Amino acid sequence: MTTPDYTVDELMVAALSRHLESADQVCNGAASFIPVCAFALARATHAPDLVWLAGAVGLDARPRRVPASTLEAPLWHRASMYMPQLEDFWSYALNGRWLTKFCVRGAQIDRYGNANNSVIGDDYHHPKVRLPGSAGLGDMGSIGKRLLYWTTTHNPRTLVERVDFVTCAGWLRGGDERERLGLAGGPEVVVSDLAVMDFHPRSKRMRLRSVHPGVTVEQVVEATGFDLVIDGDVPETEPPTDEQVRLIREEIDPDGARRREFA
């Protein structure tokens, strides 16, 4: 067996990019290196018309490379529009017709795809750890977006039975609860450093779809804080092609900003 010529960050970028199409418009928030690389990879390969609103500001930006921040002006280099947030960005985001997919990284993600970026601990007002807070997550889970989760820390502290606080609405308590509240969209996929998950169509429980090359199903089960749904044989996650790896390393992110997510 030869050592594969890619690293897990590149695998994740390629896996996430597969969930993006030419007809989509996406934006990114703070410290979102893997999504930003995935958008660029999708645009360079199978989704050339994917619209990317860099930092929720710069339309179709063409940064020379992924910079050290995904929320600063270097990211929206050569954009065709600097979208004002108040009237424009939020109107397009709320509208329902555009920006229909959104990538989310939560400090906690639970079995129904709810995410927590607010507090760790049982008492919101006296938390063990105060996390940064909702930002746009508190909106994006509720306004019809198809949510694509990523996390570089697939472990029982991140993937939990139930989030301590629902900052971002996923499938709530599963089944049709989301639908009953009139919420469209919802979580579709979780790309972690070990595996790719989706959600069971009826129960809305997180389901193991593939394990990354070199990772076993048992390792994933062990690293997950709840029982994953496992339907039959679990295939291996498709590895990035040589060309995808080359694009990521040479064209998109030569500085390796994506590895900041593994600090």
Site residues, another protein (CB under 8 A): 25, 30-31, 51, 57-60, 62-64, 67-74, 77-88, 90-92, 94-96, 98, 118, 124-139, 141-144, 165-169, 172, 178, 181-183, 260
Considering the complex, state which of residue 161 and residue 242 has its C-beta at the smaller distance from another protein: 161
Q: C-alpha distances in angstroms, 7 versus 4, 10, 224?
A: 8, 5, 22
**Beta carbon of residue 31, minimum distance to another protein (angstroms, whole number):** 6
**Beta carbon of residue 20, minimum distance to another protein (angstroms, whole number):** 15
| Residue 260 DSSP one-character state | G
**Beta carbon of residue 110, minimum distance to another protein (angstroms, whole number):** 12
Judge contact between 151 and 261, C-beta under 8 A: no
- Side chain identity, residue 118: S
Considering the complex, state which of residue 6 and residue 33 has its C-beta at the smaller distance from another protein: 33
**Beta carbon of residue 10, minimum distance to another protein (angstroms, whole number):** 20
Q: How many CA atoms lie within 13 A of 69 on its CB side?
A: 7
**Beta carbon of residue 40, minimum distance to another protein (angstroms, whole number):** 15
Considering the complex, state which of residue 130 and residue 246 has its C-beta at the smaller distance from another protein: 130
Rounded to whole angstroms, the Cα distance separating 230 from 92 reads 37
Q: How many CB atoms sit inside 10 A of residue 49's CB?
A: 12
Considering the complex, state which of residue 50 and residue 220 has its C-beta at the smaller distance from another protein: 50
Considering the complex, state which of residue 141 and residue 239 has its C-beta at the smaller distance from another protein: 141
Judge contact between 254 and 40, C-beta under 8 A: no
Return the H-helix or E-strand segment holding 210.
Answer: strand 206-211
